A and B are shown apart, each in its own frame.
With several copies, the nearest count.
Chain A
């Protein structure tokens, strides 16, 4: 549900319009639902609209949480 993809803002075309890039795929998106978007921000794109920025710090922390598990767990235990 609600297919939405994080993509990097590459160019701000106008107040309500930006070009985002996802691994080389470039698309126009509307910024009408966003505030204070800057080039380099990652935004979640849904039906051509940016919905929310990705917080890079939080993302990093989540990934760190996943990584932490590696330590808690015996890598050979589940095989």
Chain B
């Protein structure tokens, strides 16, 4: 697999690991956050922690759109799907995510709701075409990467004159979430930001480009390295971050130059700007309310907005009391610090956002790294 296998070479990994080992200052800690679930996945999947010196710690960020979707929005989707005549379409990842009372799209499907897994936003448009007597709602989730395809679907439906297709929009934005973590009261309470640098998103950045990260580097004086999702990319980004930290720099660097430019994909950006606009504030599971962190459908496309057609109520459902996701996402705590980790909260029955998908910090630890704790 070209452009994949070369970036998974175990021999090269050991070389970069040596370089990291040579580079680290044994007298300090390096707390590096990978924002994206994709990076978390690579780190867990390839056992990267075992290749890092003990004083380099990876903090798993909130970059999994399924994990951060607030329970109230899932509850909304469930109620939508339970309306007679509604076909609710969503990506496979969403189907299993439970609400606070253990419901999920998969469970209501088992009870008879018409919930369909799609692989692409345009599959949902096709389903609407094929089922003119049903209301087809596309439960759209995802970061900047996944938003342009939703825009395309809405424009397709408009072009076709479909009056039975709407989108329940839950697209969220990466940069405001990173800002929010850095500015959070918890972090401020500690008096220091426990994060020394960021690995920036890979595929999000193919769309938005590298320039939006300049702000963090400047404002918070934290280095950012945009990196691909292959494990060598991650290793290299870690090395580059440690180098910046050691040199006292706080620049935005791009390891993923093979796919990320400074400007990103302008065609996609225009499309998104045409169809969507910023929400003033949006709730993130684990982070709470984050200003200007999500998109909604513009008035010009209101006919395709499920929130308008179905008058979806705002539901805010509090996280579980014991859940430590907020602190974990900010690098203050680790999964095993949570009282219910691995007992009440497991991948089969996730309680908090970090356990929802295998890219969440708690789930990754449970599914891939748990043996380290017991060993």
Direct contact of A and B (CB under 8 A): yes
The residues of A with any CB-CB pair to B shorter than 8 Å are 1-6, 8, 22-23, 30, 32-35, 42, 44, 46-49, 51-56, 58-59, 61-63, 65-67, 69-70, 72-75, 77-78
How many B residues touch the partner, as a band?
35 or more
When distances are taken between beta carbons in the complex, the residues of chain B under 8 Å from A73 are 15, 18-19, 22
**CA distance in complex: A48, B38 (Å):** 18
How many pairs of A and B residues are in contact by the CB < 8 Å rule? 142
Tell me if B353 is interfacial: C-beta within 8 Å of chain A: no
When distances are taken between beta carbons in the complex, the residues of chain B under 8 Å from A53 are 259
When distances are taken between beta carbons in the complex, the residues of chain B under 8 Å from A74 are 18
**CA distance in complex: A6, B16 (Å):** 23
The DSSP consensus for interface residues of chain A is mixed
When distances are taken between beta carbons in the complex, the residues of chain A under 8 Å from B267 are 33-35
Q: Which 6 A-B pairs have the closest CB atoms?
A: A48-B120, A1-B37, A2-B145, A59-B258, A52-B206, A2-B203
Tell me if B288 is interfacial: C-beta within 8 Å of chain A: no
- B287 CB to nearest chain A CB (Å): 15
The residues of B with any CB-CB pair to A shorter than 8 Å are 1-4, 6-7, 9, 12, 14-19, 21-22, 36-38, 41, 63-65, 91, 119-123, 142-143, 145-146, 148-149, 152, 201-204, 206-207, 229, 232-233, 236, 255, 257-260, 265, 267-268, 271, 359
Find out whether the CB atom of A46 lies under 8 angstroms from the CB atom of B3: no
Chain A residue with the shortest CB-CB distance to B206 = A52
Q: Which of B15, B21, B142, B257 contacts A66 (CB 8 A)?
A: B15
When distances are taken between beta carbons in the complex, the residues of chain B under 8 Å from A22 are 1
When distances are taken between beta carbons in the complex, the residues of chain A under 8 Å from B206 are 4, 44, 51-52
When distances are taken between beta carbons in the complex, the residues of chain A under 8 Å from B260 are 52
**CA distance in complex: A9, B122 (Å):** 20
- A60 CB to nearest chain B CB (Å): 8
Find out whether the CB atom of B3 lies under 8 angstroms from the CB atom of A54: yes
With A1-B38, A42-B2 given, is the CB distance from A47 to B258 under 8 Å?
no
Q: Which of A47, A51, A59, A66 contacts B121 (CB 8 A)?
A: A47
When distances are taken between beta carbons in the complex, the residues of chain B under 8 Å from A4 are 145, 202-203, 206, 229
- B308 CB to nearest chain A CB (Å): 24
Chain A residue with the shortest CB-CB distance to B271 = A33
**CA distance in complex: A3, B203 (Å):** 8
Find out whether the CB atom of B203 lies under 8 angstroms from the CB atom of A46: yes
Chain B residue with the shortest CB-CB distance to A42 = B3
- A22 CB to nearest chain B CB (Å): 6
Find out whether the CB atom of A3 lies under 8 angstroms from the CB atom of B232: no
**CA distance in complex: A3, B1 (Å):** 16
- B345 CB to nearest chain A CB (Å): 21
Give 20 pairs: A residue, B residue, CB < 8 Å, sorted on A.
A1-B145, A2-B145, A4-B145, A33-B271, A44-B203, A46-B149, A46-B203, A47-B120, A47-B146, A48-B119, A51-B265, A52-B259, A54-B3, A63-B7, A66-B232, A69-B18, A73-B15, A73-B19, A74-B18, A78-B18
**CA distance in complex: A67, B9 (Å):** 11
- A7 CB to nearest chain B CB (Å): 9
**CA distance in complex: A66, B7 (Å):** 9
When distances are taken between beta carbons in the complex, the residues of chain B under 8 Å from A62 are 233, 236, 255, 257-258
Chain B residue with the shortest CB-CB distance to A72 = B19
When distances are taken between beta carbons in the complex, the residues of chain B under 8 Å from A30 are 120, 122, 149, 152
Find out whether the CB atom of B258 lies under 8 angstroms from the CB atom of A55: yes
Scoring A4, A8, A62, A70 by chain B CB atoms within 10 A of each residue's CB, the highest score goes to A62
When distances are taken between beta carbons in the complex, the residues of chain B under 8 Å from A47 are 91, 119-121, 146, 149
Q: Which of B9, B14, B149, B259 contacts A54 (CB 8 A)?
A: B259
Other CB < 8 Å A-B pairs besides A6-B2, A51-B207, A77-B22, 14 of them? A4-B229, A6-B259, A32-B152, A33-B148, A34-B265, A46-B146, A47-B121, A48-B120, A49-B149, A51-B203, A54-B258, A55-B257, A58-B259, A75-B15
**CA distance in complex: A61, B259 (Å):** 12
